[in-house]
Each structure stands twice: as C-alpha cells, then as structure tokens.
Amino acid sequence: MEKDAKIYIAGHRGMVGSAIHRNLIQKGYSNFILRTSSELDLRNQQQVSNFFEEEKPDYVFLAAAKVGGIHANNTYRAEFLHDNLCIQNNVIHSSFINGVNKLLFLGSSCIYPKLAPQPLKEEYLLTGKLEPTNEPYAIAKIAGIKLCEAYRDQYGCNFISAMPTNLYGKNDNYHPENSHVLPALIRRFHEAKIHQKEQVVIWGTGTPLREFLNADDMADACVFLMTHYDGKEFVNIGSGIDISIRDLAELIKTTIGYTGNISFDSSKPDGTPRKLMDVSKLTELGWQYKIDLKQGVRAAYKDFLGN
C-alpha cells in the first residue's frame, strides 16, 4: 500500500475505524477519504455509487457496521440484518465497479456456530447453528465474507476479510443497554461507584468465556493484513486468550475502585458458552497482539472518563 495511496475508511469515527485511521497516520499515510454517516449514508445505494465514482479510492477499509451487545442484537434483529447487508453490499459492489486495488472487510467472531469446537478455526464457518441472539448480525457478516470471495472468484478482485474477536478501546460505545459487555461493565461499575450502590447486577451466570482485543491492536492487524495478505480465506484476529465474564467483572471492579458486591442474574441469557479465536494463521503470517487486558482496561476507563 503506497504511502500516497488514496484510502477510504468506512466508519472512520467508530472505535475500529478511528483506530485504523490513527494507525495509518502513525505509519506515514495521509491521503484519506473520510465521510460521516450524515454526509454519506452507506445504506443508500445511489449515494455510495456516486461517492465511489467521484472519489475513486485505491484502498478501502470496510469498518462501518451497525453493532451492539447481546441486548441490542436480540432487540433490533431486522435492523442488524438489513442495515449491515446494505452497507457491505453497497461498498463492496462499488469498490468492484470503480476498480479499487484492495478492500478489507471486517466481520465478527459471532459468525461461528454456537457450539463450534474451541478455539475457533477459520474452517469451522457454516458447520453448525448460530447463536440465536445475534443470528441476524452473524448472517450479514457471513454474507459479507462470501461476497468478497465471490467478487474474487468471478472478477479477480483483491478483496480480503478479517474476523476480529470482541473489541474494546478508545471511542467505544458505552450505552447502558446497547453496548458490548466490556464497555457496558465499565459504565455500570463507574456509576455504581459514583452513586455508592451496594451491588452491581450482571446478566447471565458469569461463566461464559470471552476473548478481548484492544482496538489499537486490531487496527494494527488490519493494516498488517492490508499490506501483507492477499489470500481468499478470511483471517481471525485476536489475542488467543480468554477470560470468564465473572473474572472480567472482577478486573473492571478493581480497576475502577468499586467496593460493593457483584451478583449475576441467571434468568438473563449467557449467549455462546465460549468464543476463543484460533489465531495461529495470523501468527504464522507474522503478527501478534501487544496490549494486555489489564493495561487495556485501564486505558479504556481513562477514555470513558474523558468522554
């Protein structure tokens, strides 16, 4: 990827997109095409078509998506399927029409079957039933992977896909209901500390195991793949290390300095029992994560307080 190449980052103000932007700037790239969602609605086919025809980007990072935690995924099922299909269909097709040199599509670890063997290898895709609570989002992301593969097979497009594990970090969404588990817990424990609540109630049993990766590590992996990987098969991005929700809650509680109790509401869904990525493919390519979870949670809490 040439230093003067014209780079479009779809979703540049989100957690992942902004991290990719920062990483590229640090590496000496400066020719960016950036649009907010109010300036360019990626769900609108005509707007996206006009944008690509006018700007003609050389490289595309497709980090725009409708995202959220288990509550949001299960509540807004139609929007999570429809909006994500529209976004990726429009961007990928317009990238083909306008001769983009290379595109990186970002999916999610929820593409894997609910009861797939652990750790999750890339070849486990479509080998079993999905987790019901986030099935619409997962189906959209699977469609994105297959769309990139189809344009590669039929037209020779250099469109690659990467599947990140659970992400957190700067510019995360801390919405009390619609955010992912780690930022949601940061907000919940912070508010409990401020209001001196006796306990924090967490959905589920606390036993599910989850893997977390800092968004800045994720961005570094994306830029690495864009410059070093041209394969058809998608690549997992993660740390290769997981933690129970209970232990994560204890870590965040300690980081924030909350002194009350933690209780678990087992009447609420746990989601997938375990989601640990097999990152051997990415490791063999030459990339590994750098930011450990304790360090990352401290930085994330600092970012939360700053916002």
Q: In sequence order, what are the residues at sequence separation of 6 or more whose Cβ sits closer than 8 angstroms to the Cβ of residue 137?
A: 66, 67, 73, 80, 81, 84, 108, 110
107 is known to lie in a ligand binding site: yes
133 is known to lie in a ligand binding site: no
246 is known to lie in a ligand binding site: no
282 is known to lie in a ligand binding site: no
35 is known to lie in a ligand binding site: no
106 is known to lie in a ligand binding site: yes
82 is known to lie in a ligand binding site: no
16 is known to lie in a ligand binding site: yes
244 is known to lie in a ligand binding site: no
Query: Using CA atoms, how far apart are residues 282 and 225, in angstroms rounded to an integer?
Result: 9
257 is known to lie in a ligand binding site: no
203 is known to lie in a ligand binding site: yes
The answer to whether 228 touches 273, Cβ cutoff 8 Å, is no
239 is known to lie in a ligand binding site: no
141 is known to lie in a ligand binding site: yes
180 is known to lie in a ligand binding site: yes
Residues noted as catalytic? 137
109 is known to lie in a ligand binding site: yes
Q: Which residues are annotated as a binding site for substrate?
A: 188, 203, 210, 270
User: Which segments are annotated as binding site for NADP(+)?
Assistant: 11-17, 106-109, 141, 164-167, 180
